[in-house]
Amino acid sequence: MRILVTGGAGFIGSAVCRQLVAGGAARVVNVDKLTYAGNLDSLRTIERQANYVHYRADIGNERGMLEIMRREKIDAVMHLAAESHVDRSIDGPDIFIETNIVGTVRLLNAALAYWSELAIGARERFRFHHVSTDEVFGDLPFDGSVFTEETAYAPSSPYAASKAASDHLVRAWAHTYGLPVVSSNCSNNFGPYHFPEKLIPLAIINAIEEKPLPVYGTGMNVRDWLHVEDHVRALELVVRQGRPGESYNIGARAERCNVAVVERICDLLDGRRPRELGRSYRDLIAFVPDRPGHDRRYAIDPSKIERELGWKPRLGFDEGLSMTVDWYLANRWWWEPIRHRRYSGTRLGERQRRLA
């Protein structure tokens, strides 16, 4: 199977590339234009493999994407390229509209043109897999309710709204033009090679550097955590076995409030890298003004993918977080150059430098 992965130098995209290449049953064509969050160092372990190639290209270049699909004889597209940081979307929403909405339309047009040229058998096998987020559903109260594939869309942030729009566009191309699409919506991912502005890597790295560990508001906002390696196993199942026209929610039923996540990171580091004078890393926790429109709670019901495709997470939250802390302790070579790079955007840059 020849799979084109958009955004393959990002956090989840690079994990998809590593998984597929290591499995040996696919040729992976990574398309990534290498914006601030794209990092080819995340692909160092596979960059010389015969079944992997990277194109530095923009999904917004419709003609260029069509040419790559033709040249590589693509069997499936896994669309992960996206602007994905909520804080960035609040400070500068325009790039989210351009990448997540306009870029997705142009990629869909290229895929449709390519699919229309294929012979009958190849057309039946082709898939366009759109990878999205649970944030399109808005947020939940602090009760037992969960997001399902039938939950109404109610995005809160510019980021979530741009992803919701892209979800609708993908379904429209399937309904109107017959493009064989599958979709998936995941909960919050964590694991190795995660860009250092997100909660878990930011807390780990700040703690390593003895800097404050910022927690928004009261820290009681809840997220449903999914280790990235479990996520990419699910994504491979969806692109290979998912039913055209269907969507699949992917989550690990691992809800934690933000402050509890940061406290657990502190406890793990207390055991692995004790501070001087017996102090705890919990002393570094600093509550900061809340994010505008901060969603209260996310929780996914993954019953459909468990039932139809036989997927279940292998890593519990505590085990996965322990592995993640160990990875950041052992791989300063990866995150230090990113850490010392200036963030773009004046207001966001000031915020990120303050938190870091």
Residues with catalytic roles = 134-135, 159
CA atoms in the 13 A half-sphere facing the CB of 319: 8
Phi and psi angles of residue 259, each rounded to the nearest 5 degrees, phi first: -70, -35
Q: Report the alpha-carbon distance of residue 46 to residue 37 in Å, rounded.
A: 19
Q: Report the alpha-carbon distance of residue 159 to residue 87 in Å, rounded.
A: 9
- Amino acid identity at 155: P
Phi and psi angles of residue 188, each rounded to the nearest 5 degrees, phi first: -60, 125
Q: Report the alpha-carbon distance of residue 339 to residue 334 in Å, rounded.
A: 9
Q: Report the alpha-carbon distance of residue 81 to residue 108 in Å, rounded.
A: 13
Which segments of the chain does DSSP mark as H helices, in order?
Answer: 11-23, 62-72, 86-91, 94-96, 103-117, 120-125, 158-177, 199-208, 228-241, 258-272, 303-309, 317-330, 332-339, 346-355
Look up residue 306 and give its two tokens.
């468990």
Q: Report the alpha-carbon distance of residue 203 to residue 222 in Å, rounded.
A: 16
Dihedral in degrees, nearest 10, Cα atoms 37, 38, 44, 45: 80
- Using DSSP's 3-state secondary structure scheme, residue 37 falls into coil
Q: How far is CA 275 from CA 170, 267, 272, 323, in A?
A: 50, 11, 10, 20
| Cβ within 8 Å of residue 50, ≥6 positions away | none
Q: Taking the chain, what is the end-to-end CA distance rounded to the nearest angstrom?
A: 42
Give yes or no for a contact between 88 and 47, defined as CB atoms under 8 angstroms apart: no
